């Protein structure tokens, strides 16, 4: 039976564990050839025996299930290694059709306690990592489109976070990186549309090794004890991966430049910012007094503590 992604080739970064692994397995289940990327190297298991790198483990799982996958061990935040990743997909399967950027790290700290390295490392892995792979994938699709004389098939699914939408106080580096990824995605969506490529961004909520401390206080079941009834953890990565599979598929050709929040059996489409109010100077330029007269009363009437952050997104749930 034909699958939606038959004959297509996908890269999933950070796919050795957690969300990336679930996404890679879903794309393979839908028929795609998958290049599984992760920075993790081979190690030792509990008995001291050599163990495979996480990316190789994921690729092996996919092959054992009847799919097609190869591993790539590399740092997507390194420009040359990101180029090698795209080249691995093209050399192995002939071309690249789908890019899922998921790789990331956390270095949580309040802004007044954060070190320069904690800032730089998170920005590097998340934001630069997304740029690097997108750059080389976009170059590949542009070249193919020019050779074909028209659009080609291309899908980008980037990973942002509710930390960007809600303004996570203890994650200034992470929130900034994830906000940057949204800007990168909307810019890419406009730039690549004429080549047949779409770019969308998801804000997933999932329990993974990276987020185990973040969600430590949330039980792996609903408040009604649904886990005991065989229902999955509402923060299981498997709630997110079907959306990635959809956005990577031909069915999503009309979805471009969008931001979607996904977790626990729910998908929410975020609306772009809209202008709440507009003020014009009565003169050639604003004076301090005129701005005081206009803006101070306006903000005094707004709800206390309301900012540009959309904290209400944290209250979204299935049902």
Active site residues: 161, 174, 178
Neighbours of 269 (CB within 10 A): 9
- Name the phi and psi angles at 225, rounded to 5: 75, 30
Contact present, 26 and 60 (Cβ < 8 Å): no
What is the residue whose two structure tokens read 């993790």?
Answer: 40
Sign (positive or negative) of CA dihedral 1, 86, 136, 259? positive
d(CA 227, CA 211): 20
Query: Residue 252: helix, strand or coil by DSSP?
Result: helix
Contact present, 130 and 158 (Cβ < 8 Å): yes
Among 268, 240, 244, residue whose Cα is nearest residue 155? 244
Q: How many Å separate Cα 95 from the centre of its chain?
A: 22
Neighbours of 9 (CB within 10 A): 21
DSSP E strand stretches across 42-86: 43-44, 50-51, 68-73
Give DSSP secondary structure letters for 79-92: HHHHHHHHHHHHHH
- Name the phi and psi angles at 198, rounded to 5: -110, 155
What is the residue whose two structure tokens read 């990592």?
Answer: 129
Per 3-state DSSP, the chain is made up of helix, strand and coil in percentages (nearest 5) of: 40, 15, 45
Among 58, 139, 37, 29, residue whose Cα is nearest residue 95? 139
- Name the phi and psi angles at 68, rounded to 5: -120, 125
């Amino acid at each position: 039976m034909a699958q939606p992604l038959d004959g297509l080739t996908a890269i999933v970064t950070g796919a050795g564990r957690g969300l990336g692994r679930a996404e890679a397995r879903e794309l393979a289940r839908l028929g795609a050839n998958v290049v599984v990327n992760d920075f993790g190297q081979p190690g030792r298991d509990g008995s001291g025996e050599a163990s495979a790198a996480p990316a190789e483990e994921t690729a092996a799982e996919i092959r054992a299930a009847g799919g097609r996958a190869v591993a790539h061990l590399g740092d997507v935040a390194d420009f040359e290694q990101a180029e090698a990743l795209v080249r691995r997909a093209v050399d192995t399967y002939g071309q690249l059709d789908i890019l899922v950027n998921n790789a990331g790290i956390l270095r949580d700290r309040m802004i007044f306690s954060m070190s320069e390295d904690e800032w730089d490392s998170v920005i590097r892995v998340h934001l630069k990592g997304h740029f690097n792979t997108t750059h080389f994938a976009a170059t590949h699709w542009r070249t193919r489109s020019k050779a074909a004389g028209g659009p080609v098939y291309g899908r980008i699914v980037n990973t942002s976070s509710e930390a960007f939408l809600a303004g996570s106080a203890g994650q200034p580096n992470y929130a900034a990186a994830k906000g940057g990824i949204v800007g990168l995605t909307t810019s890419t969506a406009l730039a690549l549309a004429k080549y047949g490529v779409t770019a969308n961004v998801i804000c997933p909520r999932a329990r993974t090794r990276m987020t185990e401390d973040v969600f430590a206080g949330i039980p792996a079941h609903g408040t009604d004890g649904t886990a005991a009834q065989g229902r999955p953890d509402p923060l299981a990565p498997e709630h997110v991966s079907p959306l990635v599979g959809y956005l990577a598929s031909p069915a999503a050709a009309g979805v471009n430049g969008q931001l979607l929040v996904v977790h626990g059996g729910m998908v929410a489409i975020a609306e772009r910012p809209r202008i709440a109010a507009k003020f014009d100077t009565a003169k050639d330029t604003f004076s301090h007094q005129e701005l005081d007269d206009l803006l101070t009363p306006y903000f005094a009437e707004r709800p206390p503590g309301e900012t540009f952050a959309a904290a209400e997104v944290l209250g979204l749930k299935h049902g």
